[in-house]
Amino acid sequence: MHIEVKNLSKKYGRTFALKDVSFTLEGPKIYGLLGRNGAGKTTFMDILAGQQRASSGTVLVNNEQPFNNKTILNDLCIIKESNNFQKDLTIKQVLKTCAILFPNWDANLAEKMLGIFHLSPRKKMKKLSKGMASAVGIIVGLASRAPLTIFDEPYIGLDAASRKKFYELLLEQFEEEERTIILSTHLIDEVSLLFEEVIILQEGELMLQEEADTLRDRAFSVTGEKEAVKQFICDKQVINTKEVANMMTAAIYGDRLEAEQTNLTVEGLPIQDLMIYLTEKRHGA
């Protein structure tokens, strides 16, 4: 699955939700789409899924525009935070409808996941708790086997055990049949090990796109006496600093091996912390 985003902008009135965004995604791969609230993540996913038109610029999926394109939409499934399905339908009716919509639908997998999440197919969507409704969305997203599967905060209301089961199922299904998965989440620490590539949006602009392994290797922190840390970071790409008494911690993007050859304490920087620090600088600007 090849996705090309070129000079993409989306404007609501005088406000830009996306502003001149360009990047390329190559699947099969699991992408983490990250950013603060209002960063433009959901707007991008809606345009990618053919649910909105761009104000300017283009999004191409396998060299075709997704809006009103049956060929592309047959290969795409988007699961949002809520309101994915008609409230008057039963779970069974939802799954029957999805079996028609998605050419690669896996009915056996859907049935298996109903048991995993303890869902009765006879229950109506309007009678479900938020967590149960989220579980239905997860079932549809995974059982669709869509070559492009998008999850936008898909687990509202799910407890920690159910979220863990979702992550396990997602990885299991990806390994069984690879596809392009875009996962947008605020619970980054829980899922960061699933990411193969990370995209960070901030205030409608692309802030970072990088392989997750590269981020894990090159994003780190050093801690030590203030003067020693200051000396080390003077020519480095510093993301954030904190001082307590005579001690300093600096978050850095760069050569971790060089840091490990000093007397400073070196620790990996979680992707969630990296996202917070990067967007904090812009957010406070």
DSSP string, 22-62: EEEEESSEEEEEE--TTSSHHHHHHHHTTSS--SEEEEEET
pLDDT at 283: 43
Could you tell me the CA-to-CA distances from 183 to 7, 138, 141, 220 in Å, in that order?
Answer: 22, 12, 11, 24
pLDDT at 1: 86
Instruction: Looking at the structure, tell me whether residues 177 and 53 fall in a common domain.
Output: yes
Instruction: Looking at the structure, tell me whether residues 135 and 219 fall in a common domain.
Output: no
Instruction: Looking at the structure, tell me whether residues 96 and 135 fall in a common domain.
Output: yes
Instruction: Tell me the whole-structure pTM to 2 decimals.
Output: 0.91
10 occurs within a structural domain? yes
pLDDT at 281: 55
CA-closest candidate to residue 160, choices 196, 128, 131: 131
Instruction: Looking at the structure, tell me whether residues 274 and 224 fall in a common domain.
Output: yes
pLDDT at 278: 87
| CB within 8 Å of 47: residues ≥ 6 apart | 8, 10, 18, 53, 54, 59, 66, 67
271 occurs within a structural domain? yes
CA distance 10 to 17: 5
pLDDT at 195: 96
CA distance 147 to 195: 17
pLDDT at 192: 92
For 123, the enclosing helix (H) or strand (E) is none
Instruction: Looking at the structure, tell me whether residues 244 and 180 fall in a common domain.
Output: no
Tally of domains within the chain: 2
Instruction: Looking at the structure, tell me whether residues 45 and 185 fall in a common domain.
Output: yes
Instruction: Looking at the structure, tell me whether residues 10 and 143 fall in a common domain.
Output: yes
Q: Is 194 helix (H, G, I), strand (E, B) or coil?
A: helix
Instruction: Looking at the structure, tell me whether residues 63 and 166 fall in a common domain.
Output: yes
**Boundary of a domain, candidates 180, 203, 226:** 203
For 67, the enclosing helix (H) or strand (E) is none
Q: Is 248 helix (H, G, I), strand (E, B) or coil?
A: strand
Please state whether the peptide bond connecting residue 121 to the residue before it is cis, i.e. omega within 30 degrees of 0: no
CA distance 67 to 10: 14
Q: Is 250 helix (H, G, I), strand (E, B) or coil?
A: strand
Instruction: Looking at the structure, tell me whether residues 146 and 219 fall in a common domain.
Output: no
pLDDT at 83: 84
CA distance 249 to 227: 11
Domain range for 248: 214-283
pLDDT at 285: 40
CB 175 within 8 A of CB 167: no
Instruction: Looking at the structure, tell me whether residues 191 and 218 fall in a common domain.
Output: no
Instruction: Looking at the structure, tell me whether residues 226 and 192 fall in a common domain.
Output: no
Q: Is 195 helix (H, G, I), strand (E, B) or coil?
A: coil
82 occurs within a structural domain? yes
Could you tell me the CA-to-CA distances from 105 to 82, 145, 158, 262 in Å, in that order?
Answer: 21, 6, 24, 54
CATH code, domain carrying 263: 3.30.70
pLDDT at 284: 41
**Boundary of a domain, candidates 172, 203, 234:** 203
CATH code, domain carrying 75: 3.40.50.300
DSSP string, 137-166: HHHHHHHT--SEEEEESTTTT--HHHHHHH
Profile the chain (285 residues) by mean pLDDT over runs of 10 residues.
96 94 95 94 96 95 94 94 91 96 96 97 95 96 97 92 96 95 94 95 94 93 96 94 95 93 94 89 46
Instruction: Looking at the structure, tell me whether residues 198 and 218 fall in a common domain.
Output: no
208 occurs within a structural domain? no
